[in-house]
Chain A
Amino acid sequence: MGQEIMERIREANEAVITGIDDADIKHWVTIYIMGKAYRVPADITLMQAIEYAGYRFVRGAGCRAGFCGACATVYRTAGDWRLKTALACQTRVEDGMYLVQIPFAPAEKPTYKLEEEEPSGTTLLKYFPEIARCVACNTCTKACPQDLEVMDAIQAALRGDLKAVTELSFDCIQCGLCSIRCPAEIVHYHVAQLARRLYGRSLPVPGHVEERVREIEEGKYEEEFERIMSLGREEIEELYKKEQREKGGLKSRDASRVTRNGQGEG
């Protein structure tokens, strides 16, 4: 069972660029991956281009859909002195682009017992005193591929406004690009995560959550889980598509992508 799941994950992560015939490509660009020039199709993403060039991702690739933050890229473009940042799966190649992947942002990650910490700015400063070094340069904001106001979040952390940090950082995907660029060496994404945890814990537990936890503990959903776990791949896909159609969230054309790589039956 476990092996079968791993196999499915491996398949889902296969490069999407395989099987393209160079004769079908009309426009080409040259990009430099870690300093080496490669000629790649002009209308593909950085991630596809890196794979087209022959690299295989063992780290630095995840959802391929702009959600997971695994494919952080640092690049420069021809004629521009600025260092830029992006998610490789969400950014199109440009001619003359120099790039490198940052599959992991090194950062000390403190451990804490959430239930023993005060939901306050003092707690943030205790674990991340470097936030007081923020000079408001806004480099973190410029680096963020999610277009978050990262500096505003750190400024809110400095003044102990956990609610504002939570709201400003809610779409953070923890790619770490802000922290790689910060001159004050702040680890914004860990700061914001602690703020969200403290804020979340400080809120009263909503009635519907208590109700659902009770239902789970009483085993209300066990039978349904067992049924789904016993289904084969085709049955699960069919069930997923049916659910999506019922929710109206997935049009029939999109539903075909559920198979994978846009090569579905649609």
Chain B
Amino acid sequence: MKGRRNPSPITHHPSRIPYFPGCALKDQARGFERAAQAAMERLGYELAELPRWNCCGTVYSLSSDDLMRHVAPVRNFIRVQEMGERKLVTLCAMCYNTLRRSADFVSADPERLRRINAFMDEEDDYAGGVEVLHLLQILRDAITFEEIEAKVERPLYGLKVAPYYGCMLLRPREVGIDDPDAPEVMELLVEYLGAEAVDSPHKVECCGAYQTVANPGIARERVQEIVWAAARRGADVIITSCPLCTYNLEHHQLSVTGDKSSTRHASRVTRHPIPVLYFTQLLAYALGVPEGELGFEDAAIDPRPALSQRVGG
């Protein structure tokens, strides 16, 4: 039947994890993926890219009867099933949130899944049961930070890192990978890499998300609050797990104009823009992956001066 292919047989190996990249990681956020692959290789794991994956759906649909919005996530779960696997790991917080919530949505009601399966008559039925995970969960729970610490080749002593979680890793609580109000998974990670975690009250607040398109002023205001809170606590770099957060955090640090929406912090923020890294870039850097393989050159604010100044290349 059209659209169906024989899945390639995959040898089950605990260190081989089915991986959903998402569109942005193949285009605007290549460094996020490249660094993750290099880091996981050093940790003895392989991110096995899902064959024929499609866009996660980008934003989880809050309409409870709009089953069409769940076709995209479920089609990806069918690909996991075809691999003979049960787990699916993502790097992008947005993809994680959409896929995870959709997995819960269809498993909560067999009738929903039956109707989605009936619509996708060109595919094998999705039987349910795929577990969607974020890479931070794999690092924390499966690999453990102690194990990672033992493989650090370039300890980040002296580097002050402000983790920024945004929304999608933490909310709603049912899918959050950590405490939605006081998460610590990224703080722990950077501490085990040798860096100093900089706590910031705005680390779990929204970056402005897609308001950046139609109402850029909202995103700009959000970003200035978030960045200034990190800056005044001495952060050298900010880390994220979301290409959209990264875009906003970079772009609205650099795009401050005389706009009324600019907050009182605007000038201070833009005089010393803080580089924004994906957590995988910092991880791979600490594990000794050569700098040239980390996609630093794609960053709007070059992180290399801050890194070499603190860590010393």
Q: Interface stretch among A21-29, A106-114, A147-155?
A: A147-155
A174-212 contacts to B (CB < 8 Å): 183
What's the A-B contact tally at a CB cutoff of 8 Å? 54
A92-135 contacts to B (CB < 8 Å): 120-122, 132, 134-135
Residues of chain B with a CB closer than 8 A to A161's CB: 26
Asked if A37 lies at the interface with its beta carbon under 8 angstroms from chain B, I say: no
Asked if B84 lies at the interface with its beta carbon under 8 angstroms from chain A, I say: no
The answer to whether A120 touches B27, judged by C-beta atoms less than 8 angstroms apart, is: yes
The answer to whether B52 touches A135, judged by C-beta atoms less than 8 angstroms apart, is: no
Asked if B2 lies at the interface with its beta carbon under 8 angstroms from chain A, I say: yes
Closest to B25 in A: A159
- Residues on A lying within 8 angstroms of B by beta carbon are 120-122, 132, 134-138, 141-142, 147, 149, 151-152, 155, 158-161, 183
Closest to B53 in A: A155
Chain A nearest CB: distance from B52 CB in Å? 6
Chain B nearest CB: distance from A247 CB in Å? 33
Asked if B256 lies at the interface with its beta carbon under 8 angstroms from chain A, I say: no
A155 in contact with B3 given A138-B120, A161-B26 (CB within 8 Å):
no
Residues of chain A with a CB closer than 8 A to B297's CB: none
The 5 closest A-B pairs by CB, nearest first: A136-B72, A160-B27, A159-B26, A159-B23, A136-B54
A152 in contact with B52 given A137-B71, A142-B2 (CB within 8 Å):
yes
Residues of chain A with a CB closer than 8 A to B24's CB: 159
Pairs A–B under 8 Å by Cβ, sample size 29 = A121-B23, A122-B27, A132-B58, A134-B54, A134-B55, A135-B57, A135-B69, A135-B71, A136-B55, A136-B75, A137-B68, A138-B120, A141-B2, A141-B3, A141-B122, A142-B2, A142-B122, A147-B2, A152-B52, A152-B54, A155-B23, A155-B54, A155-B55, A158-B23, A159-B24, A160-B26, A160-B27, A161-B26, A183-B68
Asked if B119 lies at the interface with its beta carbon under 8 angstroms from chain A, I say: yes
- Residues on B lying within 8 angstroms of A by beta carbon are 2-3, 21, 23-24, 26-27, 52-55, 57-58, 68-69, 71-72, 75, 119-120, 122
Residues of chain A with a CB closer than 8 A to B26's CB: 159-161
> With the chains together, A122 CA to B27 CA distance in Å?
9
> With the chains together, A136 CA to B70 CA distance in Å?
9
Residues of chain A with a CB closer than 8 A to B58's CB: 132
> With the chains together, A120 CA to B28 CA distance in Å?
10
> With the chains together, A134 CA to B68 CA distance in Å?
11
The answer to whether B55 touches A158, judged by C-beta atoms less than 8 angstroms apart, is: yes
Chain B nearest CB: distance from A142 CB in Å? 7
> With the chains together, A160 CA to B33 CA distance in Å?
15
- Our pick among B3, B53, B68, B122 for the contact of A135 (Cβ within 8 Å) is B68
> With the chains together, A141 CA to B4 CA distance in Å?
11
Closest to A132 in B: B58
> With the chains together, A136 CA to B71 CA distance in Å?
7
> With the chains together, A17 CA to B120 CA distance in Å?
39
Residues of chain B with a CB closer than 8 A to A149's CB: 3
The answer to whether A138 touches B27, judged by C-beta atoms less than 8 angstroms apart, is: no
> With the chains together, A204 CA to B16 CA distance in Å?
37
Closest to B119 in A: A137
> With the chains together, A161 CA to B26 CA distance in Å?
8
Residues of chain A with a CB closer than 8 A to B72's CB: 134-136
Residues of chain A with a CB closer than 8 A to B119's CB: 137
Residues of chain A with a CB closer than 8 A to B27's CB: 120-122, 159-160
> With the chains together, A122 CA to B29 CA distance in Å?
13
Closest to A136 in B: B72
Chain A nearest CB: distance from B125 CB in Å? 15
Select the residue from B75, B119, B120 with max chain A CB neighbours within 10 A.
B75
Chain A nearest CB: distance from B131 CB in Å? 21
Besides A120-B27, A138-B120, A141-B2, 19 other CB < 8 A contacts? A121-B23, A122-B27, A132-B58, A134-B54, A134-B55, A135-B57, A135-B68, A135-B72, A136-B55, A136-B72, A137-B119, A141-B3, A142-B2, A152-B52, A152-B54, A155-B55, A160-B23, A160-B26, A183-B68
> With the chains together, A138 CA to B120 CA distance in Å?
8
Closest to A164 in B: B26
Closest to B72 in A: A136
Chain A nearest CB: distance from B74 CB in Å? 9
> With the chains together, A103 CA to B72 CA distance in Å?
31
Closest to A152 in B: B52
